[in-house]
């Protein structure tokens, strides 16, 4: 994992989280949506509190610029990052892990997200549009103040939004937004909780003979501590009963492996 650095440029609210904008002067290093950085949340090496680096995913990716997704205002490490002034140098490792892969030719892309999942899939939406795909974004949020305003969503995107109770079938159930999309997507990208993975597969199997590998990519949220799979804190159980390390084989994994 490469050592790198970013310089704080500012904070921007986006739905249930914040974008930490960084100048990232590393022109020869690419970053894929769904990969992560391990960010040190102390001002220098003489301070070890909080001790662990925080795994943060990019929500915006541009030449020499990234915006990291901050979604936990109670975490001491993220609180420290939120308080840093412009120009602060951040010590980072990455990008690491396996990210989202866009299809090679333009088609129909469906993106699903619940609550904080919107941040990591935001750059998928942007890159899909840039590659000529037609995009539908379905977002379900628990609270009305977590809504991403339609004005922030590119006009080319079909934006479907649900808010309210987060229970299955409730007002914020993202699957209630999928009526009429049966058979439409050529590719599906999802950042939803594990309980939704079997529901996503069942929805697809209602209109597709089978869910082929590569058709649905899912973001696996886990504890990324070492970033290389050595500590095994990120272990996730697969559909076949075996286990994988999400920081190495993910965070983006194929739905057929998970549900």
Are 240 and 141 in the same domain?
Answer: yes
User: Would residue 32 count as lying in a domain?
Assistant: yes
CATH number for position 203: 3.40.50.80
Question: Number of structural domains, the chain?
Answer: 2
Are 129 and 68 in the same domain?
Answer: no
If pLDDT is split at 50, 70 and 90, which confidence band does 223 have? Answer: confident
Q: Which pTM value belongs to this model? A: 0.94
Report pLDDT for 30.
87
User: Would residue 16 count as lying in a domain?
Assistant: yes
The H-or-E segment that residue 78 falls in is helix 76-82
If pLDDT is split at 50, 70 and 90, which confidence band does 164 have? Answer: confident
User: Would residue 103 count as lying in a domain?
Assistant: no
- Supply 46's token pair: 């003489």
Are 65 and 124 in the same domain?
Answer: no
Residue reference for tokens 């662990």: 52
Pick the last residue of a domain from 68, 96, 124. Answer: 96
Contact 23, 7 (CB under 8 A): yes
User: Would residue 232 count as lying in a domain?
Assistant: yes
Report pLDDT for 168.
56
User: Would residue 128 count as lying in a domain?
Assistant: yes
User: Would residue 204 count as lying in a domain?
Assistant: yes
Q: Domain range for residue 163?
A: 108-258
3-state secondary structure at position 176: helix
Are 139 and 165 in the same domain?
Answer: yes
Report pLDDT for 44.
84
Are 161 and 244 in the same domain?
Answer: yes
- Does residue 87 carry a pLDDT above 80? yes
Are 59 and 155 in the same domain?
Answer: no
- Does residue 171 carry a pLDDT above 70? no
Higher pLDDT, 168 or 230: 230
Q: What mean pLDDT, rounded, does the chain reach?
A: 94
Residue in 17, 19, 1 with CA at minimum distance from that of residue 92? 1
- Does residue 16 carry a pLDDT above 90? yes
Contact 17, 67 (CB under 8 A): no
Q: Which pLDDT tens digit goes with each residue over 101-152?
A: 999 899 999 999 999 999 999 999 999 999 999 999 999 999 889 999 999 9
CATH number for position 71: 2.40.30.10
Q: Which pLDDT tens digit goes with each residue over 24-49?
A: 998 766 899 999 999 999 988 888 88
Are 220 and 168 in the same domain?
Answer: yes
Do β-strands 36-39 and 65-70 pair in parallel, antiparallel, or remain unpaired?
Answer: unpaired
Pick the last residue of a domain from 38, 61, 96. Answer: 96
Contact 96, 227 (CB under 8 A): yes
User: Would residue 101 count as lying in a domain?
Assistant: no
Are 7 and 89 in the same domain?
Answer: yes
If pLDDT is split at 50, 70 and 90, which confidence band does 165 have? Answer: low
Pick the last residue of a domain from 96, 123, 152. Answer: 96
**Contacts of range 131-135, beta carbons closer than 8 Å, 24 or more positions apart:** 131/102, 131/106, 132/106, 133/102, 133/103, 133/106, 133/107, 133/108, 133/109, 133/187, 134/106, 134/107, 134/108, 134/109, 135/109, 135/110, 135/111
Report pLDDT for 46.
86
């Amino acid at each position: 994992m490469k050592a790198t650095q970013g310089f704080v440029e500012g904070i921007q609210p986006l739905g249930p989280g914040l974008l930490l904008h960084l100048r990232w002067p590393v022109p020869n290093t690419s970053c894929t949506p769904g990969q992560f950085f391990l960010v040190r949340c102390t001002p220098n090496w003489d301070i070890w509190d909080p001790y662990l680096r925080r795994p943060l995913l990019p929500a915006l990716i541009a030449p020499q610029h990234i915006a990291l997704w901050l979604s936990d205002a109670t975490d001491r490490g993220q609180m420290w990052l939120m308080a840093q002034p412009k120009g602060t140098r951040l010590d980072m490792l990455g990008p690491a892990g396996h990210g989202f892969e866009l299809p090679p030719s333009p088609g129909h892309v469906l993106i699903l997200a619940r609550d904080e999942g919107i941040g990591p899939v935001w750059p998928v939406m942007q890159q899909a549009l840039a590659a000529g795909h037609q995009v539908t974004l379905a977002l379900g949020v628990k609270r009305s103040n977590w809504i991403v305003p339609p004005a922030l969503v590119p006009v080319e995107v079909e934006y479907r939004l649900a808010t309210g109770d987060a229970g299955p079938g409730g007002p914020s159930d993202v699957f209630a937004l999928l009526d009429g999309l049966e058979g439409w997507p050529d590719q599906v990208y999802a950042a939803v909780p594990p309980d939704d993975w079997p529901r996503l597969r069942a929805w697809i199997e209602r209109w597709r003979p089978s869910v082929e590998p590569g058709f649905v990519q899912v973001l696996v949220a886990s504890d990324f501590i070492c970033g290389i799979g050595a500590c095994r804190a990120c272990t996730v159980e697969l559909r076949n009963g075996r286990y994988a390390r999400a920081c190495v084989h993910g965070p983006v994994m194929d739905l057929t492996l998970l549900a």
